């Protein structure tokens, strides 16, 4: 992975992340490099200030476009503002009184952007244990009853950021996306105070049940898959293992044991307080104890549906050994793709080169248009015609 800051992995990773997402409307190269030039490596305060400064500036530009009824320009500008403001929040500790307002303004920018989409996504609320999990349904244009991928992010990530890459790649291939804030993520954590859980499959099944009950007229409910990224590599595998109704499983960044990932990290790691927050712990000792349950031991072999695992050999967050261990444990039909460390895209979740995800999305397309065999021949013919057009 290219380092904007030589020898400084974490801030360089975030710059790469923004540059890659810029291809999908999540940034402008010149703006991103301007932000990077104002960051002092290792100083998370400068990181927040630089991204917030640009995010607020771009948000104001979007507001001006909107007031002038320049909706296309406003839409594109709100999307950039969202991603910059989201990034500004990334390293803020949960105790920082700027974290919630930063998140709320980022979310506001995204929702203003999608209100200007020609093909507007639907905002959804999935009832969950006395509260709800929020998300977005993105439907591909021109496809009647498409297959559906349910997707979660990782750590405390936001459903909105799944628009920059996953949504567009799936929709282009005729597949709908239900992007969700699961337990410990996005608004589920920040507004509804729902912490993450080792049995993430409970949330996965709740979302699947909701989709089956509420989306019958919009998607092919016989072709629903599960997918997740980063820490979500554990979540997707867990959901698939205990929910055989999913037709395929996609693990974008393997995680065998989240405890193993954190057991040797320092208590002052940049993400330590966030990990404490998502599990509801008061200190890192407590958090590590809770993370011991986040393991695929005795779980991975229960996955029954076709599964795709994508991992970078130079992943410095979830080491590639996680992917090899998962590969060896899976007994289902599987494809395990390792992006070699000599190549771009070998970093964590291919954040430095999303073109290395193309094989994964092509596999999803092939599998999801081959499942749902009980669907009517007329419906399948329509799908094929739409896809091949």
Residue-wise pLDDT tens digits, 196-210: 999 999 999 999 999
Q: What is the pLDDT of residue 370?
A: 82
- As a whole number of angstroms, the distance between CA 4 and CA 211 comes to 42
Provide the pLDDT confidence category of residue 389 given band limits of 50, 70 and 90.
very low
pLDDT at 383 > cutoff 80:
no
Contact 314, 274 (CB under 8 A): no
Q: What is the pLDDT of residue 377?
A: 39
Q: Which fold has domain 120-257+294-388?
A: Rossmann fold (3.40.50)
Task: Give residue limits of the domains in the chain.
Answer: 1-118, 120-257+294-388
> Known catalytic residues?
230
- As a whole number of angstroms, the distance between CA 171 and CA 194 comes to 29
Model pTM score: 0.94
Contact 176, 35 (CB under 8 A): no
pLDDT at 372 > cutoff 90:
no
pLDDT at 382 > cutoff 50:
no
Is 1-118 a CATH 1.20.1440.110 domain? yes
H helix or E strand, kind and range, residue 251: strand 249-252
More confidently predicted of 379 and 138: 138
Collect all residues with Cβ–Cβ distance below 8 Å to 71 and sequence separation of at least 6: 65, 116
Once rounded to an integer, what is the mean pLDDT over residues 340-366?
A: 97
Once rounded to an integer, what is the mean pLDDT over residues 205-234?
A: 98
Domains 1-118 and 120-257+294-388 equal at CATH topology level: no
């Amino acid at each position: 992975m290219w380092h904007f800051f030589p020898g400084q992995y974490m801030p360089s990773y975030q710059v790469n992340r923004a540059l890659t997402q810029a291809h999908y409307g999540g940034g402008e190269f010149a703006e991103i490099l301007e932000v990077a030039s104002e960051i002092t490596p290792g100083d998370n305060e400068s990181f927040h200030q630089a991204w917030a400064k640009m995010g607020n500036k771009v948000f104001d530009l979007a507001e001006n476009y909107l007031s002038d009824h320049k909706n296309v320009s406003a839409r594109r500008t709100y999307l950039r503002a969202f991603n910059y403001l989201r990034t500004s929040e990334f390293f803020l500790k949960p105790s920082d009184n700027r974290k919630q307002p930063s998140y709320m303004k980022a979310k506001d920018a995204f929702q203003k952007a999608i209100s200007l989409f020609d093909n507007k996504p639907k905002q959804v609320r999935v009832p969950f244990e006395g509260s709800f999990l929020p998300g977005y349904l993105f439907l591909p244009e021109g496809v009647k009853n498409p297959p559906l991928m349910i997707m979660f992010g990782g750590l405390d990530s936001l459903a909105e950021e799944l628009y920059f890459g996953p949504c567009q790649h799936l929709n282009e291939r005729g597949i709908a996306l239900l992007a969700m804030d699961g337990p410990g993520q996005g608004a589920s954590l920040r507004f509804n105070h729902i912490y993450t859980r080792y049995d993430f499959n409970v949330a996965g099944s709740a979302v699947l049940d909701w989709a089956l009950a509420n989306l019958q007229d919009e998607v092919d409910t016989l072709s629903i898959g599960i997918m997740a990224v980063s820490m979500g590599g554990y979540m997707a595998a867990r959901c698939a293992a205990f929910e055989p109704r999913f037709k395929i499983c996609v693990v974008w960044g393997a995680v065998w044991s989240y405890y193993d990932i954190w057991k040797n990290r320092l208590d002052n790691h940049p993400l330590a307080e966030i990990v404490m927050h998502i599990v509801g712990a008061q200190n890192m000792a407590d958090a590590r104890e809770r993370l011991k349950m986040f393991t695929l031991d005795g779980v991975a072999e229960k996955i029954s549906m076709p599964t795709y695992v994508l991992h970078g050999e130079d992943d410095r967050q979830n080491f590639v050994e996680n992917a090899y261990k998962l590969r060896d444990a899976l007994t289902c039909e599987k494809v395990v793709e390792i992006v070699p460390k000599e190549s771009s895209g070998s970093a964590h979740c291919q954040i430095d080169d999303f073109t290395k995800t193309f094989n994964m999305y092509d596999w999803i397309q092939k599998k999801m248009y081959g499942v749902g065999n009980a669907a009517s021949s007329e419906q399948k013919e329509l799908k094929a015609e739409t896809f091949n057009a």
